[in-house]
Amino acid sequence: MTELRYLAPDTLDEAVGAFAKAGSAARILAGGTDLLVQMRSGVLKPGVIVDIKKIPELTAIEQTTDGGFRIGAAVSGMALAEHETFGKVWPGVLEAVNLIGSKQVQGRASAGGNLCNGSPAGDSVPAMVAAGAIVTVQGQDGRREMKVEDVPAGPGRTNLKPGEILVSFTLPPRPPGSSDAYLRMIPRTEMDIAVVGCGVSLTMKDGVVTSARVGLGAVAPTVLLVEDAAKALIGSRLDDAALAKAASACSAACRPIDDKRGTIAYRTKVAGVLLKRTAAIAAQRAQGK
Amino acid sequence: MNVVTNNKWIGQRTIRPDGMDKVTGRAQFAADTTMPGMIWGKVLRSPHPHARIKSIDTSKAEKLPGVKAVVTSKDIVDFPIEKGAVMLGIQDMRWMCRNVMARDKALFPGHPVAAVAATTEAIAEEACKLIEVDYEVLPWSIEIDDALKPDAPILHEFNKFDGKPSNIVGRLEHKKGDIAEGFKKADVVIERTFTTRPVHQGYIEPHACLISVAPDGKTTIWSSSQGQFMVRAMTAYLTGIPQSDIRAIPAEIGGGFGGKTIVYLEPLATLLAKKSGRPVKMVMTREEVMRATGPTSGSKSTVKIGATKDGKIVAAHGTFYLQAGAFPGSPIRGAAGCSFTPYDIPNLLSEGYDVCSNRSKVAAYRAPGAPIGAYAVECVLDEVAEALKMDPLDFRLKNAAMEGTKAAHGPVFPRIGYIETVEAAKSSPHYAAPLGDSHGKLRGRGVASGFWFNAGGESSAQVNITEDGNVVVTTGHPDIGGSRAGIANICAELLGIDYRRVSVIIGDTQTVGFSNLTGGSRVLFASSMVVTQSTEKIIQTLRERAAKIWEIDPEAVKWENGAAHPASPNAGQFEPLTLEELAEKAPAMGGPIGAGVQLNTQGADGGFGTHVCDVEVDVDLGIARVIRYTAVQDVGRAIHPGYVEGQLQGGVAQGIGWALNEEYIYTKEGKVDNPGFLDYRMPVCSDLPMIDCIMVEIPNPKHPQGVKGVGEVPLVPVMAAVANAIYNALGKRFYALPMSPPKVLEVLEAPTQQAAE
């Protein structure tokens, strides 16, 4: 029977002020597809909700001057899917964002919410990590930038400081021969949560991988950047030996738990399987096949 | 009885009478009902799997502003255990009174211990937290093996098995011949043990009710159930209000599958309404549904089958242990009674054991027990056929039950259609098709058969001709499988009128005669009998009226195409009198036209099905997917083929979920860890192929339209068909359900691990 205040400021400054003022009782509302579920189930009882969808910067998709993309934290999956060029440049990020929930959920759910929810199984996060996304956050002390992989702190927790709001994701420009992919393992075909999620971003020249990044989800308390897997891929032609080495690196990076969604042994094995499959898709796309 | 031939409406895929309301959202489900002055009821549930309730103090809750009533087990009518069973259908009221509200002990996490009604849901929830329950926490067991250990905590101390306190609360056996002698004749004997997990019926609509108790005690219940008369009777038993004072109005039902054949909320809401003087609404959350309403049993079955070299089964022995949950009553009858029934086995022993453990009390689930037993039997049959190098369908044909076969559970079969289902499966396009390109995955095909008893029982109907010459049929069964459409087809056929002129409604307990539960695949079988007899009485009246008008003998009037016609020797002498004309003349010709019939229907024949399943397994991830499925079933006469196919497809969909992913997962504290549809993984549409149906129509000779129940058989063979297909794909047998990805991968990896050791 606690009172709930709903605020929908038009500017980021207002939002930051209101969010900081309300302290720990406040929650940010982007799409609300996690927040409202948590409220209905009684897990969360916020006193103040700050809706950030009225702030233009948070719902904008922009191409940066250097050819990268800046995506507002509250951009919905559907809005991102409808963007003319984003999906051509970052098909892996887009497919990961579009895997969150159902069609109906996609009309609201955002990559920003997915990241700040702090779930190790969030689908967009491994793809963003593989993409090398940088996030902009704003608090009362001003703006700062963080690597996306530095945002999650553990299940349900982030490294954002009290009062800070996630503003946007910035994805770097893409050299020719680059692409990415995301795959997740779920027991069903849809409407499920990743047992393992894997994002791979590659740049290739003449069939050789010149740069690579690998993100792994649902195998540790936070989404992981697996540098050893990337190292195994770089310089290779994605031959079986390189893929096997990268897959082993993914399995080795896993620190999963046994839970209702999967066992330690299962997740560890699947992380390697998904790496191989995801890398193959990313390579096909990078080479324009 | 005259079997209708040259049908115009029977066998047509007519538009379902409830379709428009359901697709437009107008249909009224239980949670859609409201009343002025209504308040909300909530249940306080035990957090413990097993605990003695030493005291309950509700005083703080009662003082919370907004709280209007609190009830505990003291308010529920007690059925003392020592006084013996008080049966209502298959339910013993001694267990029902303890299931709706824990008495001396809480027996599972989620077991109700008190209920509160308050002006808002939030206040009612807050009040539940203020109730102080002093529990003495007891050791507990959930799994069958744990509940059967010599030192297992005993749920019901009064119960003895082999002279000792035990969690085995029931046993039954079906016996034929001498299995020891039979196995001696066998060239191949295979014995395997199987386990299955508890699975929920998975109805989308949670239990809900709104109940008003007037100051004079007249009680009105709006609720979603598979039987408004069951709701009335159980509520009457548990509250002490006479049945004549309780009007139970059935809402549209958002799925039941057997799980809504008992009550949970209605007695509590009635008592809260009575105490508070206000209408009380209660709606379960999904979590409450998963924790506290009946899944079906988890099981442990051992099946041994022996056959001779030429493929004849000479002996079989099945032992089926089923979890009952907190109170006796697991469906051992279905497991032990149905599993071997498709086969003519000379020496058979089929035993069922009912095992209590600290989880929610089971409720019926689509052919209760039969899918569990068939899973074990049909998987062993697959192994025997393989050992004999026989096609699994040929092996089944060689041993098929037929007219004259004596089933171990008693009956000698009349004309049955089992052989036809196997032959249809064998000659199906599916069975002949190659498995196809697998894109690097492994594919396999499996088959299995199944049987379910089917039921008859009590039904009532009233058929009335309206003043404008149309028809209203009132029956007493909630429609969960298309009974309204089926009844409209039959009534239109008999009267010779357009089916759109027949409106079929489901009456409440005070406006239609007693009708037993919607369950046992009985509704269309039973209700079409009483509707047929009622309609025949009406036709007789119409002929008499026409005869009176024409001043000829009623026997000289025939009813055809919706009108009375003079028959020879008067043929052609008079213009036919239509139903509309006779309805218009009714006031002058003897009054309103209508008839009601009430029967305890007999002659429901059991049903048989044979399924063919193709799977594709991703061996790196352990994911098995069903890519093609054909369900063949002897459906008697398909009154509404679209609905019959819907039943077959629905049963298969549930079975695929049971086979591949659905299971209750428990924490180490004994609580359900996946009480929601995210982690309790029922299949979604994209998980399933289009499920093909082959309807074999062997009409039931004991029914006017040849109807056999069709709703439950289609779940029975599924898990075995999927398991046999996965074996065919992988060359590895699975003896436990579900065959979920981690478990499939574990089995696939096993040899590698052994090699490494």
**In the predicted model, is pLDDT for residue B427 greater than 70?**
yes
Flag whether residue A191 sits within 8 Å of chain B, measured between CB atoms.
Answer: yes
Q: How many distinct structural domains can be found in chain B?
A: 3
B702 within some domain = yes
Q: Does residue B580 share a domain with residue B499?
A: yes
What DSSP state is assigned to residue A62? Answer: E
* A124 occurs within a structural domain: no
3-state SS, residue B726: helix
Q: Which CATH number fits the domain that encloses residue B732?
A: 3.30.365.10
Which of B556, B573, B601 is the last residue before a domain boundary? B601
Find, among B325, B376, B334, the residue nearest to B147 by Cα.
B325
Following DSSP, what letter does each residue of B162-207 receive, concatenated?
A: TTEE-SEEEEEEEEES-HHHHHHT-SEEEEEEEEE---B---SSPP
Q: Report residue B572's pLDDT band, with 50, 70 and 90 as the boundaries.
A: confident
Q: Which residue of chain A is at minimal alpha-carbon distance from B287?
A: A41
> Is B168 among the domain residues?
no
Amino acid (one-letter) located at B119: T
**B608, B607, B609, B610: which is closest to B426 by C-alpha?**
B610
B681 at A interface, C-beta within 8 A: yes
Using the Cα atoms of residue B130, residue B136, residue B142 and residue B144 in order, give the sign of their dihedral.
Answer: negative
Q: How many A-B residue pairs are in contact by the CB < 8 A criterion?
A: 54
Do residues B382 and B446 touch, judged by C-beta distance below 8 A?
A: yes
pLDDT tens per residue, range B684-711: 999 999 999 999 999 999 999 999 999 9
Domain boundary among B601, B621, B651: B601
Residue A210's domain is classified under what CATH number?
3.30.390.50
Residues of chain B with C-beta less than 8 angstroms from the C-beta of A191: 684
Q: Are residues A220 and A150 in the same domain?
A: no
Whether pLDDT at B148 is above 90:
yes
Do B449 and B594 fall into the same domain? no
Percent of chain B with pLDDT over 70: 98
Q: Tell which of B67, B288, B618, B620 to mutate to test the A interface (max A CBs under 10 Å).
A: B620
pLDDT at position B410 is 92
Angle, helices B718-730 vs B370-387, to 10°: value is 30
Phi-psi region of B586 (alpha: psi -120 to 50; beta: other; left: phi over 0): alpha
- The values of phi and psi at residue B274, to 5°, are -65, -45
Nearest CA in chain B to A193: B678
Is residue B126 in some structural domain? yes
The last residue of a domain, from among B581, B601, B621: B601
Burial of B25 (0-12, 13-18, 19+ CB in 10 A): exposed
**Is B657 part of the contact surface with chain A (CB cutoff 8 Å)?**
no
> Do both B677 and B612 map to the same domain?
yes
Question: For A253-280, what is the mean pLDDT?
Answer: 95
What's the rounded Cα separation, in Å, for the pair A80 and B1?
67
B218-228 confidence digits (pLDDT tens): 999 999 999 99
Residues A204, A155 share a domain:
no
More confident call, B569 vs B392? B392
Is the pLDDT at B343 greater than 80? The verdict is: yes
**B193 found inside a domain:** no
Is B364 in a helix, a strand, or coil? coil
A129 within a domain of the structure (yes/no): no
Same domain (yes/no): B101, B247 = yes
Domain with A203 in it: 178-286
Cβ neighbours of B674 in A, within 8 Å: 260
Nearest to B122 among A1, A190, A262 (CB): A1
Residue B13 pLDDT greater than 60, yes or no: yes
Q: Which of B681, B689, B686 is nearest to B615 (CA)?
A: B689
Whether B516 maps to a domain, the answer reads yes
Q: Residues B489, B626: one domain?
A: no
* Chain B interface test: which of A34, A258, A269, A278 (most B C-beta within 10 Å): A269
pLDDT tens for B252-275 read 999 999 999 999 999 999 999 999
Same structural domain, A13 and A155: yes
B553 at A interface, C-beta within 8 A: no
Indicate the burial class of A1 (C-beta count within 10 angstroms; 0-12, 13-18, 19 or more).
exposed
Residues A53, A165: one domain?
yes
pLDDT (mean) for A68-93: 97
Radius of gyration, CA atoms only, chain B: 27
What is the domain extent for residue B666? 299-364+372-454+605-753
Q: Are A17 and A96 contained in the same domain?
A: yes
Work out the percent of chain B whose per-residue pLDDT is above 90: 96
Predicted local distance difference test score (pLDDT) of residue B757: 38
CA pair distance B626, B661, nearest whole angstrom = 12
Taking the C-alpha atoms of residue A248 and residue B250, their distance in angstroms, rounded to an integer, is 59
- Angstrom distance (rounded) from CA A119 to CA A127: 14
Whether residue B156 lies inside any domain: the answer is no
- pLDDT at A70 > cutoff 90: yes
Q: Are A256 and A272 found together in one domain?
A: yes
Residues B593 and B638 reside in one and the same domain:
no
Q: How many domains does chain A have?
A: 2
Give dist(CA B345, CA B396) in Å, integer. Answer: 11
CA atoms within 13 A on the CB side of B500: 1
A126: in domain:
no
Q: What is the pLDDT of residues B504-553, one digit of tens each?
A: 999 999 999 999 999 999 999 999 999 999 999 999 999 999 999 999 99
Interface test with A, best of B681, B685, B740, B743 (most A CBs within 10 A): B681
CA closest to B686 among chain A residues: A189
Q: Which residues of A touch B625 (CB under 8 A)?
A: 189
Decide if A13 is inside a domain. yes
Beta bridge partners of B492: none
pLDDT confidence of residue A2: 61
Q: Which residue of A has its CA nearest to B625?
A: A188
Establish if A39 touches chain B: CB-CB under 8 angstroms. Answer: no
Q: What is d(CA B68, CA B536) in angstroms, rounded to the nearest whole number? A: 53
pLDDT digits (tens, 9 = 90+) for B612-671: 999 999 999 999 999 999 999 999 999 999 999 999 999 999 999 999 999 999 999 999
Domain containing residue B282: CATH number: 3.90.1170.50
Q: Does A213 fall in a domain?
A: yes
Judge if B323 and B463 occupy the same domain. no
pLDDT in tens, B51-88: 999 999 999 999 999 999 999 999 999 999 999 999 99
Assess if residue A99 is contained within a domain. yes
Distance (Å, whole) CA A263 – CA A268? 8
Position B570 confidence tier, pLDDT thresholds 50, 70, 90:
confident
**Is residue B145 assigned to a domain?**
no
- Looking at residue B364, what is its pLDDT? 97
Same domain, B120 and B81: yes
In a domain, B173, yes or no: no
**Domain check: are A158 and A182 in the same one?**
no
pLDDT in tens, B466-497: 999 999 999 999 999 999 999 999 999 999 99
Phi (first) and psi of residue B342, to 5 degrees: -65, -10
From chain B residues 410-429, the ones with a CB under 8 A of any chain A CB are none
Strand, helix or coil at B689? coil
Residue B673 contacts A, CB cutoff 8 Å: yes
Residues B349 and B491 reside in one and the same domain: no
Closest residue to B684, CB basis, from A185, A191, A270: A191
> Looking at the structure, do residues B70 and B109 belong to the same domain, yes or no?
yes
What does residue B451 show for φ and ψ, rounded to 5 degrees? -135, 145
Q: In this predicted structure, what is the pLDDT of residue B439?
A: 83
Residues B239, B358, single domain; the answer is no
Query: Considering only CB atoms, which chain A residues are within 8 Å of B687?
Result: 188-189
Residue A213: name the closest of A226, A222, A204 by CA: A226
CB contact B585 to A (< 8 Å): no
In a domain, A76, yes or no: yes
List all residues of chain A from 239 to 268 with a beta carbon under 8 Å from chain B: 260-263, 265-266
Q: Are B438 and B484 found together in one domain?
A: no
End-to-end CA distance of chain A: 58
- CB neighbour list of residue A187: distance below 8 Å, 6 or more residues apart: A195, B623, B660, B661, B681, B740, B741
Q: In this complex, is the C-beta atom of A40 within 8 Å of any C-beta atom belonging to chain B?
A: no
Q: Do A189 and B122 touch (CB under 8 A)?
A: no
Output the domain CATH number for residue A103.
Answer: 3.30.465.10
Q: Is the pLDDT of residue B756 over 80?
A: no
- Collapsed DSSP state (helix, strand, coil) of residue A129: helix
> Within this chain, do residues A17 and A153 fall inside the same structural domain, yes or no?
yes
